[in-house]
Each structure stands twice: as structure tokens, then as C-alpha cells.
Structure 1
Amino acid sequence: MSLKRKRGQKHPYLSGNFAPIQQTRPLTPCTYEGTIPEELAGGQYVRNGGNPLLNEDLGRDAHWFDGDGMLSGVAFRRSGRDESIRPEFVNQYIHTDLYLSTLATPSLKRAILPSIATLVNPLSRLVTIILRIFRAVFLVILSHLPGSEQAIKRISVANTAIYYHDGRALATCESGPPMRIQLPGLETVGWYDGNVAEGERVKADAVGFGGTGLLSFLKESTTGHPKVDPVTGELVLFHNTFVAPYCHYSLIPDTSKPPVKASASKKIMNAPVPGMRSAKMMHDFGVSRSHAVIMDLPLSLDPLHLLKNKPIVTYDSSQPSRFGVFPRTEPNNVRWFETSACCIFHTANAWDTQDANGDVTAVNLLACRLTSAALVFSAGNIAAPQPVPTQETADAVKRSISFFDRYDDDDDTHAGAHTNPSLSAASAYDRAPALESPRLTEKTPLLPRPSPSPPATIANEEEEQCRLYHYTFSLTHPSPTIPAQYALSALPFEFPTLNPTTEMSAARYIYGCSTTADSFGAALGRAAKIDVLLKMDVKTLISRAERERPTPVTGCVDTRTIDDVLSSTDPADPIRAFRMPAGWCAQEARFVARHSSATTPRDEDDGYLLFYAFDEAQLDSDGECPPTAVSELWILDARDMRTLVCRVRLPQRVPYGLHGNWFGEEAIAKQRAVESVRVARRPRIGGEGNLAWRAWMRARRLLEGWVA
């Protein structure tokens, strides 16, 4: 497909409920239907996501992972003498260096950083990528010169996730360190360096993430999904770099908790992890109570590829996937395990297997395993590059069609899906322009199944899929061995969550998002819309696999379709599904447990799933959201996956975004003291000051306009 979309073809991640919003809102009371659980009183649900501040150019390159971080939250505040629960909605931009600098530079027409879509598109011209990178570097340098309201010291947009550690709520993104946020108003405090955050009363002289030296700014970038141990409170995270050894590791204790064991209080900052073969796109990792699992997958992300005239992002399915397992306090003692190529963006859980003496004999990992890197491209409305077939598969190529070839927008016949009412829902879905949702009509149900049977594939190529996989890494075999690696279910599964008290242990239940479309490859290709939430009894499924081992890598424990699961009436079914009403789409859910006591302990699944929901019937005839469009926060009973306990109607919509979290009343109350928060400032007026200053400001405005 070409870099320019056809005239009239909309970018799926700039339209509908993916379209960003610029309005921010302080805590605002909401109406609701149903009953708000007492467990939510005083707490807050917050979800992060990219929301481009500059969005006038709707024809530009765009990617779902682009955009300035925006937090959208619902606080369940106690109100009145009876302390009744009142939900209040709040959304705020995260005041990163980039956001504040953009706000203070009204001449800018495009974001300071180039779109991820531009960087990963195989058809992007090398000169285009270089010019956009140079533009970003130029604007960063300019921000440090006189007349700037905000120097750009870090290029993170902090738009991926949010979590809580040691009295701080922290927003994350791979391109920089975490950013501290103050709850419940969602004010931005400042960057967190592993010791303190900017804006806090207490200062620290200790060296932070990245250490010292010329390349320290590279090593301070942290994963979008750090892990917090629910027992010790330790924060575990890694840092990717573009130079050897490519991966560093940090472990930060929780100073508010007494150490559970001697090693729990040991801080580790930027310790190298040996054995990584190259710079990688590693979005997540696994952590058990004793070990960490990092992933050296055949998905590379390296700006230095430009020097070799290669794409910045490459996926080589001929190379193995490698998992590095090491004790949490010994990153230098890593063992590497190899298996078939895959991509993993999110892990669900990790736990130890112990022998009778309590020694760890294996580490288990549950992860959402994809069989290709298509997500990286489809999330930018880019057709995924196809692997070059070998001589042995040449005949198979002639007979088969790759999964994503069906979405090639260079075929004008796709347009018929929008105009020919005789086309079936499945045909309309398949014939839509490349990576764009077809128009929905009364006769076209939401997210129809493209085909009851999977498309043909190249010989030795796995079917396009994203499934919940179980891996076991043996620590007792003399050579690295993976005794178990298989899918728990054939259903699409992403954005996992679980009862947070069971993280890093052998949790029984994992919740996640799915779709009634044929696969997540199709759903993500159309702009990721979720219409099913799943509950997996992984303990039961793993026990079933131990009795009858599935085929390694390609095997699957439960092979039922989503229709089979939705129609099941078995109360002991290990897979339960909640389907959204027709036309409604969900976002990632978060689990909140019911209260328990010493006399009335609760079951692991006794709690609620909180998630944002949107009714696409609100879209106008052009598929766009009118100003009156609103979203809701739904509270679902996590035990039966059927009972909708409460629906909170929000005063505005929440665009489809990334990851959220739940912050309890106690956590909010125990936040560390803040001395100042970041505020947006108006740009300086060039006419102020002496002659030299006015001349410089005029020149500065010319420079800004030149690169706008």
C-alpha cells in the first residue's frame, strides 16, 4: 500500500471513538444505574492512552501508540454524612516535556516526534524518516534556547500504563522514565528516577535510572509494564537500549513496607542483563516471586538500522524466540531458553514451581502470544510486510494467500463493501479498505466473522492468532528445556488482568479481552474493537494439559470457538465469556476484589471487572463521534461474567485507549507529599524585552514556522 491513503479513506485510528479529544475536565459528578459496590468507596479507576494534542492534519501518518498521554478516571468519592458513594469523572493530559513544549509553541502543526507509523512503514522513504527525525532533534535543541517555556529533557509521552508503588502513582512509556501523577485529580508531579520524583518535597542525591555518562539518557527509559510484588512491594522493571548489552534491570524496594527477607531491601539500579542479541521491541516481561523472565524475540527495534538502509522495526520469523530467566536479585545469572518465533506484547502472570524442599525447579509464564508482528503495523493502518518465501514454499505460495493480503487497499474492488447492500456482513468486512472498519448498517452486525474457516497459510507458517499461552522453563535440566509450551484456548486473547493479590503466584483465573471476529489479527487490522471479555480457569486448563499433553508450540488445550463458549451452560466451564450488547465496544478491564476478612475469606474470582464501554450507535453517518457522544464505566461481576452490577454514565466519551489500573482508598491516602505540580504556561510574546531579545524572538518564530 502507498504512504498516502486514497482520497476519502479515513484513518481508523483518527476516526470514530479512536479520534482524540482535546477537552480536559476536573472531577465532575456522574449519574449511574445499579449499585456501586462498597469496595469501590474512596478508590479510583484510571486508564491511560495516547491522545494527540495536535490533530488538525487528519491525513497524516498515525499509530495507535502515538499521542500525548491522557488519563481518564472515575473516582468513587465518599459524600455527605452518610458517606454515600458518588462517582466523579476526571481526565487530564500528562504534562510531559513534549506536551508542555507543544502547548507553548502554537505555530506547530504536527507533533514534535515522528509517528511510529512513519518509522515502521516499510514503504517510508529513508529521506522522509531522516528528515522527520532531524526535525524532532532540531525542536528539542530549540527548546533549550532562550525564549522556551519548557526544555525537552525527555521525549516520553507517558501514554501506555499507570501503576502504584511506594506512595506514587506512575504513568509509563518505553521512551522514558515513569511520570508521577497525583490522585485523584490526575495532576502531573514530575519524572521519577528510581529515587524521587520531581515536585516532591524530599530530594535525593543518589544516581537514578540511567546512571551517569554520555548514554545515561538511553538507559533511563523503562518498560511500559513494570511489575509490583503484592507481598514485598518491590518494583521490578527493565530498560531497553540500542547498544550492547541492550537490556538493563532495576529492582526498587518499597520503603513503606518492612522487608520480607534480607534480599527484599536490596536496591538494584540498571544492572546489565547479558545475552541479549540485539536491540529489541520488548514491551513486557514476567516476574514470579523469585525470578524474572525477559524476552529476546525476533522483533527488533533499532534506529541504527537506518545506517544499513533497513527498517527501524523488523521481524524475522526464521529466528528463534529466546526467554531469559534469572533470579530477581541476580540479573547476571541468566539462563536462555529457545523456541519457535513469535511476538509477545503482554504477559498475564508468572509463578514458581517448587519441590518438596521449597526449592524452585521451574518458572511458569502465561503470555498473549502472537504468531506475527502484524499488530505493530496494523495499529498504524499499515499492511504488514510479507515474508519472502523459500524455494520449498514457492508452490504453496501460489496456492495460498497470506492473512493480511486480504486487506490490501490497492484493490479498488474493496470499495464495494460500502456501497453494495447485497454484500454479506462477512464480505463487507473482508472487502473494506486496508485496515479500516467497514461502515456498519442495520444489516451489518458489529465485528462480523470474516469466514467460518481459517485462510490458507504458507507451508510451515502458523495460523495468524493471538492466544493465551503457557510456558514452563525448567531450572533442573542440565540444558535449557521448555517442558510445556501450548495455548490454553483457541480463542483470541489480549489485555490480560487478574486478582492483584495473586500476581506472581499460581493464580487460578486470568481475565482478558477477545472478539467475535475471526482473530485478533482481523480485529486489530480494523482498529482494535473489543466486544467480548473472557475468564480463563487456567488451573483447570493446565491440569487438563498435564493429563494429555498438547503438541508443543502449536498445540491447544481447548479448541472451541467463541460461539461454542458463549452458548455453553456448564457451570463448571473453565472458560466463561461476557458478550457486549450489539453495537457496544469495551476496553481493557481491571479486576477489583471484594473485601474479605479472617472469618469470611473470599474466593479468588470474588470481585468485579471495571472497564470503559462505548455505544457506536452514537456515531454519525460519516462514522464520526458528535460532540454529544459519551462513554460509560461498566462494573461486571467477575464470578458469573454475566451480571452487570453498575453503569456509570460519563459526561464525555473516552477514546479507545491502552492500559488502566485500580487505586484503592488506602493507596490514595498514603501518597507521598508533593511540593509542586507541573502547569502549562502561555508562550512568551516576542515584543517584550530589549532590541536584541525581540530580534531573537522574531528569528525563533521564523525557525519554528519553518519546521512547523
Structure 2
Amino acid sequence: MTTTEGTPGYLRGHLAPVADEITVRDLPVTGALPPELCGRYLRNGPNPLPGEDPGHWFAGHGMLHGVRLRDGRAEWYRNRWVRTRQLEGHPFVRPEGTFDLTAVPANTHVVEHAGRILALVENGLPHVVTPQLDTVGAEDFGGRLTTAMTAHPKTDPQTGDLHFFGYGMVPPYLTYHRLSASGELVTSAEIAVGGPTMMHDFAVTDRHAVFLDLPMAFSIEAAMRGGMPFGWDDGYGARLGVMPLDRPGEVRWFEVDPCYVFHVANACTDERGRVVVDGARYTPADVAVVWPSLGGDPAGPAATAAATGRATLHRWTLDPADGSVTETALSDTGCEFPTVDDARVGRPYRYTYAVADHGRGGDARSAVLRHDRARDELVEHDLGRDVVAGEAVFVPSGDPDRAEDDGWLLSITTSRDGAASELLVLDARDVAGEPVARVGLPRGVPTGFHGSWLADAPA
């Protein structure tokens, strides 16, 4: 699309949407793709139709980008819009005032569960897509799912159950759900909260779910203006809720310092029975910086001179025995999109991966990060000023006795001008080292949100 100085930031440069769907085979590879990487890397993100301005980075139609790897080759790249009812022109709010959960942009994440690939967004139903990224349709699990589904469900690595929640702008404001490993919706439980808030992510341990009830609240006034319907509410408060998985709906709340968290890294139960939650935490002043840059109205108190608009890794330790909360900064390096080895979800873990964008304007510099909890060590793969890293997804090696960091990180990187992209493959044990491989993609891929590695089934 043609851009000018007045074009919003979310429609230009490395965020600029693409205008069409393509399929290109036999992609060029620099370095050597590990033969164990047999599967598909899929990533979701917002991509308005040509000429559209959705008014906010979060509001564009969903588009999936996929790269097929097999036997050391990059077989194809393809991109497809997720064909929701919104893409077909249907409004989210029906004439009678109810919400159409199929008329939302499924633009945030893509996961696989029980043999189905689901494109996700937090304010609507999931949409099933094929391995070739064609849309099958909305999924409500036999009519049992009547709320939206978070874009950040958590798969228990031992049971295979998928834990998730839905939030709403009208009651019920928060509902917990669980899918069995076979894909049946077996549990739904309403959770009482003070009102409708933007609850983007949550956490699980081996025995708990942890909900983030934070002061990014729904505003009917903002919704009626047609803008982002959520904004900072100083009066709402901030708390984390711990729910035993065997007692769905029973939540104990812990007051925390005001903040906002888009993304949790992980959580676990420690040896003393405390719930430990790590996430990318924004202070209120940082919210005030970052929110308008996304296309929303100003949020939070006035930004301070020290505010960067960036989140930092932070830990909350919640003690159900005495109700105490300990809050600890894990790093002062700005970062987002924290990820871990999926085999460690809800369990004690050592490594967190994330992406960073240091500096401002022409001095901005992107990197992929690895935080080693055991050594309190942060290392980075510096991508320089001209390239922006997307979320780094960990893919384990095939060794059954592997160490936690034995595997690779996959990230779609895009030049700041949006002209070119690569699938970057890093050794997770040596993040600062030279890339293992780089797959040249046939177009600039807009920097988006979240993705997954879908490994081929064993032969």
C-alpha cells in the first residue's frame, strides 16, 4: 500500500500489511536446516484488506503465514487470511445488540490441539484451519463454548488438556474452560470479577490456573467512539487470582502493584507450595507511552521522563498459606513476547526467550533474548538496526534425554522498511551465536503476534 507521513505506524514499515495471498515453493536456505525440523512454522497477525484502516494495530483481519520444513529443505511459504464473518463484512454487534463471536478478526495466535489447527483471538470463537492454511470455519466444540476463547490457551504437558478462558464486555465477564486431550470441552466455570477488563493472557501450574485482573477496563464511551474499547482505570485495582484446577471457579485473589501484562512467560508451584508467575510487566507510566503508539487512546497516568513504553521481566510469588505477595524485577531490559519450552509449561523451568527493541527512532535495534534463571544471565542475538524480530518459538530436539535448552528458536524477522523477511533459526543453547540457518521468504512479512511449530507426526 502507498504510505505517507500521516499513515498510522501500524500500517507502514515492518508492520505494513500485504495485499494478497501467495504460495511459493523451494525457498532459499543460508546455512543448514537441522533435519529434525520436519513440520510447519505458522504465525498469525493482523492484516487489513487493501485500503482499510482498522484504527488500531490489534484490529486488522487475521492472516496466517506458514513455512514448511522437511529433510533440510524449506518446501514452501504461503499466506492466507483467516476467513471470519468479519472478513465477509458482517458486524460484531448484531442489530439486537448481541455479539457475533464469529465476526471478529482471528488475528492473534495459531495452535494445534487434538488434531485441529485453531486460529485464535481473545474476543471471539476459534477458527479451524487446514495445514495449508485454508479456513474451515468457527469452532464452538459442539455448542458448548458460549464465550470467547483467549488467544493464549495452555496445554498441560502431562495430561494433554488445554486450559483456557474467555472474557466478555457483558456478564459473564470471565469464564474458565478446559478441553480434554481429545478435544472435548469438559469444564466451564464462571469466575466473579469486578467488571469487564482486557485479560489477554493467564498462566497455569501443575495444579492451578492464575488469572490477571488488571486495570485495563472496558469503556462504553470509547466503544461508541469506534476506537479501542479498553483503557486504563486507576480505580479498578490490580490483582492476581489463583484457582485450584480441581476446584474450578474457586479463586483466591492477591493484590499487586498496579501494572499491565500482555504476556506471561510461565508459572509453577515451588517447593514451598507457593505459586510463582513470571511475565512481561508494564508500569502505569509505560502503559501511557505504549498504548497510544498502538492506535488506542492515551491510557494510564502521565508518562514520566523515565518511562520507555517497554515491559520488563517480572516475578510474582503468591503464597496461599499466608496470603502474601512478593514482587521482583528479573531484568531491566525491555522485552516482549516471552516464550518457554512447551514441555515446561506449568512446571519449574530455567530459560525464558523473548524479543527486544532497544533504543528509539534511527537508533532502534532489535534482538532475540535468552534469560537463564539459574545464572540470572541475559544473552541476546543482536539483529542490528535494520531488522525487527518476531516472537521466538522454541522447538525441542528429538533427543528423549535432552536438556531444557536443547533445541532451536524460530522467528520471522522483517526489515524495518518492510521490504524483506526471513525465517531465522537459532541454536537455543547459543542464542548469541551465528544463526543455524536463515530461510529467505518471498515477501516482506508484517511483524505480527504469535505462532507455533507444528511437528510432523512420527512416521
- TM-score normalised over the length of structure 2: 0.90
Within 2, Cα distance between the matches of 1:300 and 1:534? 31
Give the 3 Å change call, closer, same or farther, for CA 8–351 of structure 1 in structure 2: closer
Q: Displacement, 1:364? A: 0.9
Which residue in the other structure is 2:134 paired with? 187
Give the residue type in structure 1 aligned to 2:336: E
Work out whether residues 179 and 189 of structure 1, in 8 Å CA contact, stay in contact via their aligned partners in 2: yes
Give the 3 Å change call, closer, same or farther, for CA 582–323 of structure 1 in structure 2: closer
Q: Displacement, 1:369? A: 0.5
After the TM superposition, which segments of 4 or more aligned residues of structure 1 sit over 4 Å from their partners? 136-141, 304-308
Q: Displacement, 1:158? A: 0.5
Say whether residues 1:481 and 2:324 are aligned partners.
yes
Q: Displacement, 1:650? A: 1.2
Give the 3 Å change call, closer, same or farther, for CA 38–306 of structure 1 in structure 2: closer
Within 1, Cα distance between the matches of 2:346 and 2:7? 42
Which residue in the other structure is 1:226 paired with? 153
Within 1, Cα distance between the matches of 2:167 and 2:235? 23
Which residue in the other structure is 2:47 paired with? 51
Q: 2:292 aligns with which of 358, 377, 382?
A: 377
Work out whether residues 227 and 236 of structure 1, in 8 Å CA contact, stay in contact via their aligned partners in 2: yes
Within 1, Cα distance between the matches of 2:13 and 2:233? 34
Within 1, Cα distance between the matches of 2:344 and 2:5? 49
Which residue in the other structure is 2:344 paired with? 502
Work out whether residues 388 and 447 of structure 2, in 8 Å CA contact, stay in contact via their aligned partners in 1: no
Q: Displacement, 1:515? A: 2.0
Give the 3 Å change call, closer, same or farther, for CA 94–61 of structure 1 in structure 2: closer
3-state SS of paired residue (1:595):
coil
Which residue in the other structure is 1:662 paired with? 453
Within 2, Cα distance between the matches of 1:88 and 1:139? 45
Say whether residues 1:88 and 2:81 are aligned partners.
no
Within 1, Cα distance between the matches of 2:191 and 2:414? 43
Within 2, Cα distance between the matches of 1:266 and 1:51? 30
User: Where in structure 2 are the equivalents of 1:510-525 lying within 5 Å?
Assistant: 510-517=352-359
Give the residue type in structure 1 aligned to 2:15: F
Give the residue type in structure 1 aligned to 2:26: P
Within 2, Cα distance between the matches of 1:456 and 1:21? 36
Give the residue type in structure 2 aligned to 1:255: S
Which residue in the other structure is 1:685 paired with? none
Return 5+ residue gaps in structure 2 as ranges: none
3-state SS of paired residue (2:374):
helix
3-state SS of paired residue (1:377):
helix
Return 5+ residue gaps in structure 1 as ranges: 1-6, 79-83, 103-111, 114-132, 142-151, 196-206, 211-219, 257-264, 356-360, 389-401, 404-454, 458-462, 542-573, 620-624, 670-708
Say which structure is richer in helix.
Answer: 1
Which residue in the other structure is 1:608 paired with? 408
User: Where in structure 2 are the equivalents of 1:114-129 lying within 5 Å?
Assistant: none
Work out whether residues 232 and 300 of structure 2, in 8 Å CA contact, stay in contact via their aligned partners in 1: no
Work out whether residues 310 and 334 of structure 2, in 8 Å CA contact, stay in contact via their aligned partners in 1: yes
Which residue in the other structure is 2:316 paired with? 471
Q: Displacement, 1:25? A: 1.8
3-state SS of paired residue (2:457):
helix
Work out whether residues 509 and 537 of structure 1, in 8 Å CA contact, stay in contact via their aligned partners in 2: yes
Give the residue type in structure 1 aligned to 2:341: N
3-state SS of paired residue (1:348):
strand
Within 2, Cα distance between the matches of 1:377 and 1:251? 35
Which residue in the other structure is 1:273 paired with? 191
Which residue in the other structure is 1:173 paired with? 121
Work out whether residues 13 and 62 of structure 1, in 8 Å CA contact, stay in contact via their aligned partners in 2: no
Identity %: 32
Work out whether residues 45 and 75 of structure 1, in 8 Å CA contact, stay in contact via their aligned partners in 2: yes
Q: Displacement, 1:540? A: 3.4
Which residue in the other structure is 2:181 paired with? 254
Deviations 1:199-252 (A, max 9, x none): xxxxxxxx4111xxxxxxxxx211111111111111111111223441111111
Q: Displacement, 1:320? A: 2.9
Give the 3 Å change call, closer, same or farther, for CA 530–344 of structure 1 in structure 2: farther
Within 2, Cα distance between the matches of 1:266 and 1:138? 30
Within 1, Cα distance between the matches of 2:199 and 2:451? 19
Work out whether residues 281 and 299 of structure 1, in 8 Å CA contact, stay in contact via their aligned partners in 2: yes
Q: Displacement, 1:476? A: 1.0
Say whether residues 1:10 and 2:3 are aligned partners.
no
Q: Give the length in aligned residue pairs.
A: 450
Give the 3 Å change call, closer, same or farther, for CA 305–26 of structure 1 in structure 2: closer
Question: What is the CA RMSD across the aligned residues, in angstroms?
Answer: 2.9
Within 2, Cα distance between the matches of 1:46 and 1:504? 23
Within 2, Cα distance between the matches of 1:295 and 1:248? 13
3-state SS of paired residue (1:45):
strand
Which residue in the other structure is 1:649 paired with? 440
Deviations 1:256-284 (A, max 9, x none): 8xxxxxxxx99202x1112x111000000
Give the residue type in structure 1 aligned to 2:351: Y
Which residue in the other structure is 1:580 paired with? 383
Which residue in the other structure is 1:71 paired with? 64
Work out whether residues 318 and 341 of structure 1, in 8 Å CA contact, stay in contact via their aligned partners in 2: no
Within 1, Cα distance between the matches of 2:201 and 2:311? 15
- TM-score normalised over the length of structure 1: 0.59
Within 2, Cα distance between the matches of 1:72 and 1:176? 20
Within 2, Cα distance between the matches of 1:86 and 1:312? 41
Give the residue type in structure 2 aligned to 1:345: F
Which residue in the other structure is 1:365 paired with? 277
Give the 3 Å change call, closer, same or farther, for CA 175–26 of structure 1 in structure 2: same
Which residue in the other structure is 2:199 paired with? 282
Deviations 1:527-585 (A, max 9, x none): xx7611110012333xxxxxxxxxxxxxxxxxxxxxxxxxxxxxxxx111110044122
Within 1, Cα distance between the matches of 2:420 and 2:7? 22
Say whether residues 1:632 and 2:416 are aligned partners.
no
Within 2, Cα distance between the matches of 1:25 and 1:163? 22
Which residue in the other structure is 2:371 paired with? 536
Work out whether residues 178 and 186 of structure 2, in 8 Å CA contact, stay in contact via their aligned partners in 1: yes
Which residue in the other structure is 1:703 paired with? none
Which residue in the other structure is 1:28 paired with? 25
Say which structure is richer in strand.
Answer: 2
Work out whether residues 232 and 299 of structure 2, in 8 Å CA contact, stay in contact via their aligned partners in 1: no
Q: Displacement, 1:653? A: 1.6
Within 1, Cα distance between the matches of 2:258 and 2:101? 37
Within 2, Cα distance between the matches of 1:14 and 1:306? 22
Give the residue type in structure 2 aligned to 1:378: S
Within 1, Cα distance between the matches of 2:420 and 2:190? 47
Give the residue type in structure 1 aligned to 2:190: P
Deviations 1:274-324 (A, max 9, x none): 2x111000000011111000011111024377699x994231345531111
3-state SS of paired residue (1:65):
helix
Within 2, Cα distance between the matches of 1:371 and 1:173? 25
Within 2, Cα distance between the matches of 1:456 and 1:50? 30
Work out whether residues 341 and 396 of structure 2, in 8 Å CA contact, stay in contact via their aligned partners in 1: yes
Give the 3 Å change call, closer, same or farther, for CA 295–371 of structure 1 in structure 2: same
Within 1, Cα distance between the matches of 2:269 and 2:191? 21
Give the residue type in structure 1 aligned to 2:407: G
